[in-house]
Amino acid sequence: MRRIALLLLFALSRSGPLGNGEAVAEPVRLFPKTVPAVSFLGEAQGKSGLTEEEAIRRIKELTEAQIQNAYRSGLRPAQRDAHAKQHGCVRADFTVLASLPSAMRQGVFAEAHTFHAWIRFSNAVGTDDQAGLARGMAIKLLGVPGRKILPDQADATTQDFLLVNYPVFNVRTAADYVDFLTKSDAGQLPLFFRAHPESERITAAIAAQPVGNPLLQRYYSMTPYALGNSKVKYSAKPVSCTTGETLHDEGGGVRSSEPDYLRAAMRARLADGASCFSFMVQRQTDPAKMPIDDSTVLWSEELAPFVTVASITIPPQRFDSPEQQAFCENLSYTPWHALPVHQPLGTINRIRRVVYDATSSLRHRLNGVPRREPSGDEHFPGSPSW
């Protein structure tokens, strides 16, 4: 098996400005970065014996320590532990279709409606787009009524959908994730992959994908969610705004030598015209073949095809003024910014409930910036308003 991921792990360096950040040289890793955790090295064979709760607490500690360490070493602003490199945040319209099957008429899909949305496009790691590995598309719908899941943000009027450009996640359980982080920090990732060959296969497959333009990638939720009484995964695929035909990234394996070529590609495409996606839902039909607690398993599209429930239109716009990039940097996306009918499900999402809140709180506190959800009333130079 190709060791692309491992090579990238050690080849990348964090050395360029991220959004509104200053350039600070610092090594980066493939997935959320951590400090060494010596006490866990004895569990190098993956026999941690940790309960899920203990493992989640440990992941939170490791992740917070990493952000603290980067900040102490001079990184400004303090950044996300994952998906720190943003291409930008764009304004979009998210239009729920009129004729959906009744089982899907839940939450934000309950009725035909257009929500305004801020969509943040990112790389999972590093500052160089050639090595960004997984690419993120984080969608934040605005003006969503109803009490939300997180008690301290119950009155927020936002609903988030976080997507990445690959259908499955590369780690199965919380204990495995502790093992993954710990081995990675100790330079023992090959040991982790030896014990988890599926994780290595998925990691390499993500790294091998050609990416010419974030607006032309297909994205997936990877993890499952409730949709009323159904269990679903989500996907957004790029389509022609005029014909609705599916578009494919023309990257074709040729990667630009520019570290910010993906932002440039987005800028060029949105200067010429709009970009569109179909937002789709895949309903679980077979709990054995489409598990909730193992996000390394692909939910077969033959067993359960994706159904389009909304269209996303990103109108032509300029999105990368310093003011708008700073706004984008300070946003917080989490699958738990959600109505209860869209409750995130499964082990990986339970980890994310704790970790995203902790890292967002920490980076905002370190940066002295208030943590608040956007309203849609934001104005930036050169950017159209809604």
Of 199, 235, 332, 383, the one binding ligand HEM by CB under 6 A: 332
| Burial of 224 (C-beta count, 10 Å sphere; 0-12/13-18/19+) | buried
| Burial of 61 (C-beta count, 10 Å sphere; 0-12/13-18/19+) | middle
Of 118, 261, 319, 333, the one binding ligand HEM by CB under 6 A: 333
Applying CB under 6 A, the site for ligand HEM has a residue count of 29
Q: State the residue number with the nearest CB to ligand HEM.
A: 136
- Least distance to ligand HEM from the beta carbon of 98, Å? 28
Q: Which of the ranges 92-100, 302-310, 316-324, 356-364 carries the binding residues for ligand HEM, by CB under 6 A?
A: 356-364
Of 40, 109, 115, 169, the one binding ligand HEM by CB under 6 A: 169
Pattern 132-151, ligand HEM, x by CB under 6 A: ----x-x-------------
DSSP-based three-state secondary structure for 270 = helix
Cα dihedral: 138, 141, 144, 149 (round 10): 0
Partner residues linked to 213 by β-bridges: none
Examine residue 185 and tell whether it contacts ligand HEM (CB under 6 A): no
Q: Which of the ranges 6-14, 93-101, 159-167, 249-257 carries the binding residues for ligand HEM, by CB under 6 A?
A: 159-167
The whole-angstrom separation of Cα 339 and Cα 227 is: 10
The whole-angstrom separation of Cα 178 and Cα 163 is: 22
Q: Which of the ranges 21-29, 79-87, 190-198, 274-282 carries the binding residues for ligand HEM, by CB under 6 A?
A: 79-87
The whole-angstrom separation of Cα 275 and Cα 317 is: 10
Q: Are strands 85-96 and 113-123 parallel, antiparallel or unpaired?
A: antiparallel
Examine residue 163 and tell whether it contacts ligand HEM (CB under 6 A): yes
Of 159, 203, 296, 359, the one binding ligand HEM by CB under 6 A: 359
**Cα separations (Å) of 134 from 104, 222, 245?**
29, 12, 25
Q: Which of the ranges 125-133, 149-157, 202-210, 352-360 carries the binding residues for ligand HEM, by CB under 6 A?
A: 352-360
| Burial of 16 (C-beta count, 10 Å sphere; 0-12/13-18/19+) | middle
Which of 162, 204 has the CB closer to ligand HEM? 162
Q: Which of the ranges 43-51, 183-191, 344-352, 374-382 carries the binding residues for ligand HEM, by CB under 6 A?
A: 344-352
**Cα separations (Å) of 190 from 9, 33, 202?**
11, 17, 14
- State the CB neighbour count (10 A cutoff) for residue 362: 17
- Least distance to ligand HEM from the beta carbon of 245, Å? 25
Examine residue 221 and tell whether it contacts ligand HEM (CB under 6 A): yes
Of 167, 272, 271, 262, nearest in space to 216 by CA: 262
Which of 6, 89 has the CB closer to ligand HEM? 89
Residues 232-291 that bind ligand HEM (CB under 6 A): none
Examine residue 29 and tell whether it contacts ligand HEM (CB under 6 A): no
| Residues in contact with ligand HEM by the rule CB under 6 A | 32, 59, 63, 80-83, 120, 122, 136, 138, 162-164, 169, 177, 221-223, 332-333, 348, 351-352, 355-356, 359-360, 363
